[in-house]
Amino acid sequence: MTAYTVAIDDTVAGWKTVEWTVDTVDPAADSVRLLTVSEFYGEALTRTEHRLDAAEQRLRTVYPDLAVTHDVTGGPTADRLVADAALGDVLVIGARQVHTLTAAITGRVAERVVAHATTPVVVVPEEWERSDGPVVVGVDGRSAASALAWAADVAERRGKDLALVRAWAVPTAMAPYANIYLEEDRVLWSNEADIELRAALRAVGEAHPALRVDGSSVEGQPRDVMLQSSRGASLVVVGRRHRTALGGFLAGSVGERLMHRGHAPVCIVPQPRRATGSDDRTGEPAHAEAR
């Protein structure tokens, strides 16, 4: 059973969260909580309630027996969504596709929620296009174990194929007149990517023997490779490292790129919290920054 918290607002992206939920939910096992966060100077409560009623009716028209509730809570919006998401299993939000720098500087809700949520967050872009394609997941040995497990579970539950993508790139060294790398390094990084991909394929095969899975190792920056791989996907799943929206922008976050330029829903899966240490790491190779 999956408990979905679905954020609704008056934007196109906000309403598409409902349509994605219609396509995804299992009425026999799942539950849906429709949520609108009302800030101090927000819209009239009556209008908010009408929108939530319409969203609930849309779900019940397709699934009369689906467990659906709706609530209006107080803001600030991002903080409230992060807190309420912890009451369920998956948070679903919409995202307007503005420039990533603008989003980071102005503190867009989607970026802030993704950066701080402790549960998986599905972001449905306003340019979302329905697809029967596979679930695509980014493989990275340092940050994506939780994303891989989550993607495999979703693919099996929804009867989809699972496509594993391991992006890799040779890190360059700074020289006075150019960026350089050694050709022999390319073989090493390629081999490392192949090893990680094969390990991920074995792990999924052991946990989900009936699931149809394939994998590819692709040279390129992870944010670009995953954007290309997302075309035709029914869902894209990536892990999360960064704890701030600005941090994700500065490091070229894969999730940020998919949210702002992709047409497929993207699920960002946080790493489990550890008793010591921090989610953020420094000094790691550039090729490993998949999230």
Q: How many residues does the chain have?
A: 291
Give Dmax over CA atoms of the chain in angstroms: 67
Of residues 6 and 253, the one with the higher pLDDT is: 6
Rg (CA), the chain: 19
The residue type at 140: D
How much is the pLDDT for 282? 35
pLDDT above 90 as % of the chain? 52
How much is the pLDDT for 194? 93
Place of tokens 């040995």: 141
Considering the chain, what is the average pLDDT of its residues?
A: 82
Of residues 291 and 59, the one with the higher pLDDT is: 59
- Report residue 97's pLDDT band, with 50, 70 and 90 as the boundaries: low
How much is the pLDDT for 63? 97
How much is the pLDDT for 250? 33
Question: Whole-angstrom Cα distance, residue 183 to residue 217?
Answer: 18
One DSSP character per residue, the chain reads --EEEEE--SSHHHHHHHHHHHHH--TTT-EEEEEEEE-TT-S-HHHHHHHHHHHHHHHHHH-TT-EEEEEEEES-HHHHHHHHHTTSSEEEEEE----HHHHHHHT-HHHHHHHH-SS-EEEEETT-------EEEE--TTT-HHHHHHHHHHHHHHT--EEEEEEE-PPPEE-SS-EE--HHHHHHHHHHHHHHHHHHHHHHHHH-TTS-EEEEEEES-HHHHHHHHTTT-SEEEEEE--SSHHHHHHTT-HHHHHHHH-SS-EEEEEPPP-SSS-S---S--GGG---
How much is the pLDDT for 75? 75
Half-sphere exposure of 269 (CA within 13 A, CB side): 24
Q: What pTM was estimated for this model as a whole?
A: 0.82
Instruction: Kindly give, in sequence order, each residue whose CB lies less than 8 Å from that of residue 62, ignoring residues fewer than 6 positions away.
Output: 22
Highest averaged pLDDT of the listed ranges 79-93, 137-151, 161-175, 276-290: 79-93
How much is the pLDDT for 163? 97
What is the rounded average pLDDT of the residues 4-26?
A: 92
How much is the pLDDT for 144? 72
Question: Whole-angstrom Cα distance, residue 203 to residue 197?
Answer: 10
In 3D, which of 240, 263, 267 has the Cα closest to residue 253? 240
pLDDT above 70 as % of the chain? 78
What is the rounded average pLDDT of the residues 81-95?
A: 92
How much is the pLDDT for 248? 42
What is the rounded average pLDDT of the residues 167-188?
A: 67
**Domains recognised in the chain with CATH numbers:** 3-95 (3.40.50.620), 135-288 (3.40.50.620)
What is the rounded average pLDDT of the residues 11-39?
A: 92
- Report residue 281's pLDDT band, with 50, 70 and 90 as the boundaries: very low
State yes or no: pLDDT of 131 exceeds 80.
yes
194-219 b/e (C-beta count within 10 Å ≥ 16 → b): eebbeebbeebeeebeebebebebbe
Question: Whole-angstrom Cα distance, residue 155 to residue 168?
Answer: 24
